[in-house]
Amino acid sequence: PAGVFSAGTAQRLVNMEGYMPGREVVILGSGDIGLIMARRMTLEGAKVHVVAELQPYSGGLKRNIVQCLDDFGIPLKLSHTVTEIHGKDRVTGVTISAVDDKLKPIPGTEEYYSCDTLLLSVGLIPENELTLGAGAPLSRVTNGPVVNESLETGVPGIFACGNVLHVHDLVDYVSEEAAQAGRAAAKYVQGGNKETAEPLSGGIKLEAKGGVRYTVPSIIHPENVPDTLTVRFRVGGIYKNSFISVYFGDQRVQHRKKTVMAPGEMEQVLLKKADLQNIDFDTVTVTVEAE
């Protein structure tokens, strides 16, 4: 039936083309776009009945949960998903069910919501057509290119940043990353970087472990690092009162307490060039530890 839209399509219709996709709305997925669309549709006069989220936590920023749902009294149902869409020509309703810890719907928990629109906001991946076209290897976790300390991809002279590299929630990090990639590209043009013939070979491997899903970059050539290298990453679940730790080989060199870490919020650690230079190991590990 008509009335099932991706949140991005709904954004385009509402924000750019001036059309309302519908009036009675259910949203599946509580990442930032799902949350923002709950508020947008409400401000445009629609009734958003519920936001359903498969995971036991929201994938969005805390402030978006507060400002986009709580402020408008829109319920968020964690560990729930849409199990049926009703309607023939147009959506007339959806069934939402609770899911167990394996994310499978639990029979008997079905609830019917009358609605004319279902917005799907179930995850973003980097726009990678250009990356694929260039032949740069992709990370299986981020779906963006694998990069080294200079944000250089596997194709010498091609650098990546922003949402092409990995999905960002805050534009501030995109700006920083863009400046870093720009500086590295300028240095490359001037013939400044070493090891550029094979950007992803040699160097120190950055490993994501224990709840850290990935790191950007994933390879470091210490000689090309500026004074400080920012390593960005996301965790794969909610961690409370845990530590972000960095190991050089077997030696723990950073151990920082974080009250809360969540998949929706990008994290970072800083590595100093001086510390990376005189080392006799080939792996740096970023991990989450309980204590």
Ligand X SMILES: Cc1cc2nc3c(=O)[nH]c(=O)nc-3n(C[C@H](O)[C@H](O)[C@H](O)COP(=O)(O)OP(=O)(O)OC[C@H]3O[C@@H](n4cnc5c(N)ncnc54)[C@H](O)[C@@H]3O)c2cc1C
Characterize the bridge pairing of strands 267-272 and 228-235.
antiparallel
Total number of residues binding ligand X (CB under 6 A)? 12
Query: In the complex, what is the shortest distance from the CB of residue 173 to ligand X, in angstroms, rounded to a whole number?
Result: 8
**Is 168 among the residues that bind ligand X (CB under 6 A)?**
yes
Q: Is 24 helix (H, G, I), strand (E, B) or coil?
A: strand
User: Pick from 40, 37, 52: which is nearest to 85 by CA?
Assistant: 52
Distances (CA, A) of 58 to 33, 73, 136, 193: 11, 16, 32, 41
Selected range binding ligand X among 41-49, 167-175, 183-191, 217-225, rule: CB under 6 A: 167-175
In the bound state with ligand X, the residue whose beta carbon lies nearer, of 62 and 272, is: 62
Q: Say how many C-beta atoms besides its own lie within 10 A of residue 91's C-beta.
A: 23
What's the closest the beta carbon of residue 66 comes to ligand X, in angstroms?
13
Total Cβ atoms within 10 A of residue 220: 23
CB of 263 to ligand X, least distance (A): 15
234 binds ligand X (CB under 6 A): no
In this structure, what are the phi and psi dihedrals at residue 205, rounded to the nearest 5 degrees? -85, 135
Query: In angstroms, what is the minimal distance from the CB of 108 to ligand X?
Result: 35
14, 25, 33, 94: which one binds ligand X (CB under 6 A): 33
- Bridge-based pairing state of the strands 212-216 and 111-114: unpaired
Instruction: Decide: is 120 part of the binding site for ligand X (CB under 6 A).
Output: no
Pair 18, 39: CB distance under 8 Å: no
174 binds ligand X (CB under 6 A): yes
Q: Verify binding: residue 179, ligand X, rule CB under 6 A.
A: no
Contacts 24+ apart (CB under 8 A), 102-109: 103/54, 103/55, 105/81
Enumerate residues 6+ apart whose C-beta is below 8 A from 27: 7, 34, 37, 38, 48, 50, 51, 52, 118, 119, 121
Q: Does 170 bind ligand X (CB under 6 A)?
A: yes
Q: How far is the CB of 23 from ligand X (least distance, A)?
A: 21
Our CB check for ligand X shows the closer of 38 and 208 to be 38
Is 163 an interacting residue with respect to ligand X (CB under 6 A)? yes
Residue with the CB atom nearest ligand X in the bound state: 162
Q: Which stretch binds ligand X (CB under 6 A): 29-37, 50-58, 81-89, 213-221?
A: 29-37
32 is a site residue for ligand X (CB under 6 A): yes
d(CA 171, CA 149): 20
Q: Can residue 95 be called a binding residue for ligand X (CB under 6 A)?
A: no
How far apart CA 11 and CA 40 sit, in angstroms, is 8
- Residue 22 binds ligand X, judged by CB under 6 A: no
Tell me: does residue 147 bind ligand X (CB under 6 A): no
Query: Under the rule (CB under 6 A), what is the footprint of ligand X?
Result: 32-33, 36, 127, 130, 162-163, 168-171, 174
